[in-house]
Amino acid sequence: MQTYDFIIVGSGSAGSVLAERLSASGRFSVLVLEAGGTDRRFYVQMPLGYGKTFFDPAVNWNYKAESDPGLAGNVDHWPRGKLLGGSSSINAMVWIRGAREDFDAWAAAGNPGWSYADLLPAFKALEDNEAGADEWRGVGGPLHVSDCTDKVHPLTRRYIAACEQAGLPFNRDFNGAAQEGAGTYQITTRNGRRMSAARAFLRPAMKRANVRVETEAMATRILFEGSRAVGIEYQQKGQSRTARAGREIILAGGSINSPQLLQLSGVGPAALLGDLGIPLVHANENVGAHLQDHVGINYTFKGRLPTLNQILRPWWGKLLVGMQYILLRSGP
Ligand SMILES: Cc1cc2nc3c(=O)[nH]c(=O)nc-3n(C[C@H](O)[C@H](O)[C@H](O)COP(=O)(O)OP(=O)(O)OC[C@H]3O[C@@H](n4cnc5c(N)ncnc54)[C@H](O)[C@@H]3O)c2cc1C
């Protein structure tokens, strides 16, 4: 069994940043276990590929929620990335920080260092914002953020104008002084390619000798000695393997998989684990509870101006947009 200073389960948004930060000094060895495979795929790198990866089981856990009475019994599709970069490799690339009020509430609940003012220097340091630096935005960081104000579909401008007529304030920068209002998103792309957390953080870290990334490696259990987590058991190519951590094991498998792995390892609600025959290591009712979803609603209208739907439906439309992308790295 090999020993590393840190073992990170999951190479998504959180795992990629942690792998980069923890390995930067060169003093610590880091193992990253990723259940999915490579992010070097055309539809992952091309921003418009979002529509393909949204349901693609090769890169997506494709979870289904249970039938929800609050949604008239509907069953929701819950995509989650299953590849290097995790959900940041299949997400919609919208660059919006969390709400100031949420961070401030965390700090007020007794977590020093987590207020918006505390975090602002980190937000600024991590980005390379095409819109330039100011009191709120940063340049020169590892994550490139594109400004697409001038590149949006003509209907977007009409939509924003309509929002203003309806009394919503125009917002030039959702990552600026206030988040409320209507405006154009900043997106995480660079030169027409997706700027995932893997591209910004993990891939540079993978060039270091002290970082090892195992793909197709599904963590199945945290190994405990008494109440101390000391290793990870994982499945790779049909084989069960183990790795040991001298310092820490970090679960970065996302909001669904991390609590699941804790429960499989005996950390969770005692009654639930008892029913499932999982030996209890540490009882905690909160593991696997309190998930908050954000529900989105699509409004669908028929328009007189051609939208992406009309442009992309015929084969020649796809071909034209594909050629524009390959030759000019531009287009929808
Ligand atoms: C379709 C979609 C659109 C989105 N759009 C946006 C957007 O526009 N803007 C925005 O800010 N956010 C968006 N999000 C949300 C954002 O991408 C996520 O909040 C963020 O990526 C979550 O980061 P994470 O590190 O918690 O998990 P993830 O990035 O999901 O990473 C978890 C990783 O852990 C791996 N893993 C899980 N379990 C195991 C295991 N047992 N063993 C080994 N590996 C494991 C997974 O395969 C995955 O790679 C979107 C998400 C999705 C799915």
Among residues 219, 231, 213, 293, which one has the least CA distance to residue 263? Answer: 219
Task: Find, among 1, 2, 6, the residue nearest to 211 by Cα.
Answer: 6
DSSP-assigned states of every residue in 47-58: GGGHHHHTS-TT
Q: What architecture (CATH level 2) is domain 1-92+194-297? A: 3-Layer(bba) Sandwich (3.50)
Ligand 1 touching residue 196 (CB < 6 A): no
At position 317, the amino acid (one-letter code) is G
Q: By the 8 A CB rule, do 144 and 188 touch?
A: yes
Task: Measure 228 CA to ligand 1 centroid, in angstroms.
Answer: 27
The gap between the terminal CA atoms of the chain, to the nearest Å, is 48
User: For ligand 1, atom 49, which residue shows the shortest CA distance?
Assistant: 86
DSSP string computed for 135-176: SS---SSSEEEEE-GGGS-HHHHHHHHHHHHTTPPB-S-TTS
User: Could you tell me which CATH number the domain at 94-187 has?
Assistant: 1.10.1220.110
Q: What is the pLDDT along the chain (332 residues), one digit of tens a residue?
A: 799 999 999 999 999 999 999 999 999 999 999 999 999 999 999 999 999 999 999 999 999 999 999 889 999 999 999 999 999 999 999 999 999 999 999 999 999 999 999 999 999 999 999 999 999 999 999 999 999 898 888 899 999 999 999 999 999 999 999 999 999 999 999 999 999 999 999 999 999 999 999 999 999 999 999 999 999 999 999 999 999 999 999 999 999 999 999 999 999 999 999 999 999 999 999 999 999 888 878 888 888 888 888 888 899 998 999 899 889 888 88
Q: Residue 252: CB within 6 Å of ligand 1?
A: yes
Q: Ligand 1 centroid to 245 CA: how many Å?
A: 24
Contact 322, 312 (CB under 8 A): no
Token digits for 205?
């870290």
Pocket test for ligand 1, best of 87, 188, 196 (most atoms within 8 A of CB): 87
Q: To which H or E segment does residue 104 belong?
A: helix 100-108
Q: Is the CB of 146 under 6 A from ligand 1?
A: no
Domains 1-92+194-297 and 94-187 share a fold: no
Contacts of 33 (CB under 8 A, 6+ apart): 7, 8, 9, 10, 11, 214, 217, 218, 219, 232, 234, 243
Q: Whose CA is nearest to atom 4 of ligand 1?
A: 91
Task: Please give the distance, rounded to the nearest whole angstrom, from the Cα atom of residue 81 to the centre of ligand 1.
Answer: 5
Q: Going by CA atoms, what residue is nearest to atom 51 of ligand 1?
A: 91
Give domain limits for the chain. 1-92+194-297, 94-187, 307-332
